[in-house]
Every structure is written in structure tokens, then in C-alpha cells.
Copies of this chain bind each other. A is one copy, B any other.
């Protein structure tokens, strides 16, 4: 598929798809005429990237961890340098901190929503 379709299917402006490519997050083939050519796998890939960006990770980090998240990842074992593993562990820890923070605050919001709806019910009955 070309960039327009990928853009629609991932709900992502073309501008950003080109930007992600420029940042090295995705690598599209080119048709003879120069158009970018994508296959199905890019749909998930782009959504994953967007999710991570939305969760606060910068493209620089996403670029580093993306290769480890591919499904048949056995192929990538050899290129695991010690520094890279350290980075990976460090980012995992940061993600855990983020997750904990989000869960704590989500639970507090939930609690608040529950309390308010309880109050409303009590008031309206």
C-alpha cells in the first residue's frame, strides 16, 4: 500500500509517517517512481510507535527498543551488545515507573468517579 492508505488505516498524518521514517523508526520500500510502498506489517508497527510516543517515549528511545520487539526476534540475538542490554534494562525500569504512576493515578480517578456517582445516586434517590 502507499502512504495515503497507511495514513488512513493508522489514523496518522502522512507528514508523521515520513517523519518516523526520517527518524529511522520505519523503513519503507520505494516504487520505481519514488513512491513509498508499505506492507501490512507497517500498520501494527505504526500503531505501536504512536502508542509509545503517546506514552511519553521519544523517537530516539523507540528506535532503540523497536528491534527487540519484533516477533521472530531470534534473528536479532547477535547484535545485542552489553551497552544495548543496559539501555534496554534501564528503559524497562523507566517504563515500569511510568506504568506504576499511571496506574496509581488512574485508580485515584476511578475512585473519585465511583465516589461521585455514588453521591449523585444517593442525592437523586
Binding site for B on A (CB under 8 A): 48, 51-56, 65, 68-69, 73-74, 77, 80, 85, 88-89, 91-92, 95-99, 101-103, 105-106, 108-110, 112-113, 115-116, 119
Contact between B115 and A73, CB atoms less than 8 A apart: yes
Contact between B101 and A106, CB atoms less than 8 A apart: no
Residues in B neighbouring A116, C-beta threshold 8 A: 77, 80, 85
24 pairs from A and B in contact (CB 8 Å cutoff): A48-B105, A51-B101, A51-B105, A54-B56, A54-B97, A55-B55, A55-B102, A65-B105, A68-B109, A68-B112, A69-B105, A69-B109, A69-B112, A74-B115, A77-B119, A80-B116, A89-B113, A92-B109, A95-B109, A96-B106, A98-B102, A99-B102, A99-B103, A99-B106
Main secondary structure of the interface of A (DSSP, over half): helix
Residues in B neighbouring A48, C-beta threshold 8 A: 101, 105
Residues in B neighbouring A69, C-beta threshold 8 A: 105, 108-109, 112
A95 to B: closest C-beta gap in Å: 5
Instruction: For A110, give the chain B residue with the smallest CB separation.
Output: B92
